[in-house]
Chains A and B, each alone.
Chain A
Amino acid sequence: TQLLEQSPQFLSIQEGENLTVYCNSSSVFSSLQWYRQEPGEGPVLLVTVVTGGEVKKLKRLTFQFGDARKDSSLHITAAQPGDTGLYLCAGLMDSNYQLIWGAGTKLIIKP
């Protein structure tokens, strides 16, 4: 069974701080997606990374796909309360076109 591990599981920091969350696997993925989920809602796609070593930026969020396409990171600069949510990574297996999901990082940004 493929496994995507996210760390940390929970992070609570002050507004203005920087943070990084990680998504790691022993499997190779053809692409990897990051989602944010608010309470009582479904996940919303933030970004898809496809190429090993790829870096994508979305305002204060920076996403990186590992060179070997087994891991990814999400870095948030100067976190704001609006960044609060559950961050999920999901890797796509080429073999069956199914997404394998991590358990998520619950992020709380305190004003």
Chain B
Amino acid sequence: NAGVTQTPKFRILKIGQSMTLQCTQDMNHNYMYWYRQDPGMGLKLIYYSVGAGITDKGEVPNGYNVSRSTTEDFPLRLELAAPSQTSVYFCASSYSRPSGDTQYFGPGTRLTVL
């Protein structure tokens, strides 16, 4: 099993550009999450999904969109990139809700918006 894979690993965007961060998991997990990690700050939840076709906002959803058309894939879309979106983005998955289950994280995408 590859676990949780993310692409790309690094990306530089200009202000106003858009992009999609890809996330795929091969563990047949129901729950998937997108976090951002800023230096000196804890992870912040952007969006999460409890299953295909179901998504919900986390703590910091503004400027982002997600979709969950399949169990495996959970892409994160950035529209009109802004310098405040410079961060490391992590995708994670778990079989069930976090209370009793492990979240498995991908290796992250380091995004810089200039």
**A98, B105: Cβ atoms under 8 Å?**
no
Q: A97-B99, A98-B59 are known contacts. Are A42 and B44 too (CB-CB below 8 A)?
A: no
CB of A101 within 8 A of chain B? yes
CB of B103 within 8 A of chain A? yes
Q: A88-B43, A101-B43 are known contacts. Are A41 and B107 too (CB-CB below 8 A)?
A: yes
Find chain B residues with CB under 8 A from A61 CB. none
Q: A9-B40, A30-B99 are known contacts. Are A98 and B45 too (CB-CB below 8 A)?
A: yes
Selected interface stretch from B14-22, B70-78, B79-87, B90-98? B90-98
Find chain A residues with CB under 8 A from B42 CB. 4, 88, 90, 100-104
Find chain A residues with CB under 8 A from B61 CB. none
Number of A-B contacts (CB under 8 A): 54
CA separation between A40 and B98, bound complex, in Å? 23
**B99, A43: Cβ atoms under 8 Å?**
no
Q: A42-B4, A42-B106, A97-B97 are known contacts. Are A103 and B44 too (CB-CB below 8 A)?
A: no
Find chain B residues with CB under 8 A from A104 CB. 42
CB of A78 within 8 A of chain B? no
**B45, A99: Cβ atoms under 8 Å?**
yes
Indicate the size class of the contact surface on chain B: 20 to 34
Q: A41-B107, A42-B4, A43-B105 are known contacts. Are A31 and B44 too (CB-CB below 8 A)?
A: no
| Chain A CB within 10 A, most for which of B4, B43, B92, B107 | B43
| Chain A CB within 10 A, most for which of B4, B45, B58, B103 | B103
**B59, A42: Cβ atoms under 8 Å?**
no
CB of A44 within 8 A of chain B? yes
**A42, B99: Cβ atoms under 8 Å?**
no
CB of B69 within 8 A of chain A? no
**B40, A42: Cβ atoms under 8 Å?**
no
CA separation between A95 and B4, bound complex, in Å? 27
CB of A92 within 8 A of chain B? yes
CA separation between A75 and B98, bound complex, in Å? 24
